Structure 1
Amino acid sequence: MKKPITAKQHSLIDYALVGALLTVPSLLKLNKTAKRIYAAEALVLLPYVALTKQPVAIKGLIPFKTHGKIDPFNIGQFAIQTFFKPFHRTKKALLFNIAFTAMAGLTVLLTDWKSSD
């Protein structure tokens, strides 16, 4: 089965997910600790996305296949943090973290890691 998400689409989704980490927690009025953690995660993920060899890279240094091998660890970390106090303190924080993890996970599962656009 050919996977429907290309390298370019994956990267655009990644940029959108980074943007969501930087904006949605504030819009949802999540607790200060959760907002800080999401902002820190976004600042780690942005260079990783921007430096991956793909059509919308700022500078392609990281092979796209390597990006694909790292992504599951990022998703696992988001899944695990669901159990930490700042993320299950309120229903909004819990739902955002679960939804974010699911979106990122689906993106990875549906990405054609052999595509180069």
Structure 2
Amino acid sequence: MSYGPPPPGNPGPPPGGGYGPPGGGYGAPGGTPPDNGLTWAIVAIFCCWPFAIPALINATKVNDLWNRGDHAGAHQAQTQAKKFTKIAFICGGILWVVVGGLYLLSAVLLVSATPTYY
């Protein structure tokens, strides 16, 4: 079945081959996403897990927010992840030093309280 030629006065295709790509908000975001610090947040779990969990949550949000185009949100999540990771390392370091000191103190007290018989 053939429809024949188009009627006279048909404007034809638009100039320039059609419409261009949509503007703004689509496609890959420009630049590279900020460092999410996920590795350090995972390591921080062994130091002080109550502060490492928020660090992990924020670190996993960075790339997702960046890919959605929310650059400010990605930088804010990165800042929060770094903050909680530092707090976890500091608290964990203090905790390890205190626990090590208590073990050393208990060992010294145990040795000094043990009677020696000759």
- TM-score of the superposition, structure 1-length normalised? 0.36
Query: Which structure would you say has the larger Rg?
Result: 2
Higher relative contact order (Cα pairs below 8 Å, separated by 6+ residues): 1
Q: Hey, which of these two has a bigger chunk of helix by percent? A: 1
- TM-score of the superposition, structure 2-length normalised? 0.36
